Amino acid sequence: MDVQTKDEVLRYDLTEEYSIETALIIAEIYKKDGEWRMSAVGSGYEGGLQAILNRYYN
């Protein structure tokens, strides 16, 4: 949402395939060449936050 106008800027609708996931990575925000960027991801994980942490720190 745009905080000033209250207009919806982006929507990420989930499908039925995410019905059993307890944690989601929907986007990655990063800085490249001095500019902020966003990349849609859409990865679901059973096992909550711990499942995501295991992906990066296991």
12 pLDDT higher than 80: no
In a domain, 10, yes or no: no
5 occurs within a structural domain: no
Domain residues for the domain of 21 are 16-57
Residue-level pLDDT at 56: 84
Could you give the count of Cα atoms lying within 13 Å of 50 in the half-sphere of its Cβ?
Answer: 2
Average pLDDT, the chain: 88
Count of structural domains within the chain:
1
Is 48 a domain residue?
Answer: yes
The pTM of this model reads 0.59
Does 3 fall in a domain? no
With respect to residue 8, please indicate whether it lies within any of the assigned structural domains: no
Whether 7 is in a domain gets the answer: no
pLDDT band at 36 (very low <50, low <70, confident <90, very high): very high
Give the pLDDT of residue 22: 87
Residue 42 domain-assigned (yes or no): yes
Q: What's the confidence (pLDDT) of residue 37?
A: 96
Q: Count Cβ atoms within 10 A of the Cβ of residue 18 and give its class: 0-12 exposed, 13-18 middle, 19 or more buried.
A: middle
